[in-house]
Amino acid sequence: DTEVTQTPKHLVMGMTNKKSLKCEQHMGHRAMYWYKQKAKKPPELMFVYSYEKLSINESVPSRFSPECPNSSLLNLHLHALQPEDSALYLCASSSLAGGDLGELFFGEGSRLTVL
């Protein structure tokens, strides 16, 4: 069982809808990530939160809005998306203890389809 939980697993939305993807971890990790992955491509980094503060934004369009309400939760708010935003959205977390350069723990992903 993955220790990073993402909901929903599947989401279909229209271009005018507002929806959110949610991610939760209880491993005490203080870094959380959103990645976007298109079919047959590697994950592309979108955002990184370190100690609940946004530390990396990879020039993501404003129709994607991340939020980190506390150390266990990470949201990705979606508004006015385009069909090309359809992809697998992966959440991950990692430790920051002692400058840890260790692995990311991934959730199972939320598969988004924009009509």
Partner 1 sequence: AQKITQTQPGMFVQEKEAVTLDCTYDTSDQSYGLFWYKQPSSGEMIFLIYQGSYDEQNATEGRYSLNFQKARKSANLVISASQLGDSAMYFCAMRGGYQKVTFGTGTKLQVIP
Q: What is the DSSP string of 39-102?
A: TTS--EEEEEEETTEEEEE-S--TTEEEEEEETTEEEEEEES--GGG-EEEEEEEE--GGG---
Cα angle 2-85-7, degrees, rounded to a multiple of 5: 30
Residue 48 Cβ, how far from partner 1 at the closest point, in Å?
Answer: 5
Residue 50 Cβ, how far from partner 1 at the closest point, in Å?
Answer: 6
Site for partner 1 in 4-23 (CB under 8 A): none
Q: Judged by CB under 8 A, does residue 48 bind partner 1?
A: yes
Q: Which of 11, 74, 106, 114 binds partner 1 (CB under 8 A)?
A: 106
- Taking the C-alpha atoms of residue 73 and residue 101, their distance in angstroms, rounded to an integer, is 21
Q: Is 115 helix (H, G, I), strand (E, B) or coil?
A: coil
Q: Whose Cβ is closer to partner 1: residue 81's or residue 90's?
A: 90
Site for partner 1 in 58-87 (CB under 8 A): none
Q: Which residues bind partner 1 (CB under 8 A)?
A: 2, 31, 33, 37, 41-43, 45, 48, 50, 55-56, 88, 90, 92, 94, 96, 99, 101-109, 111
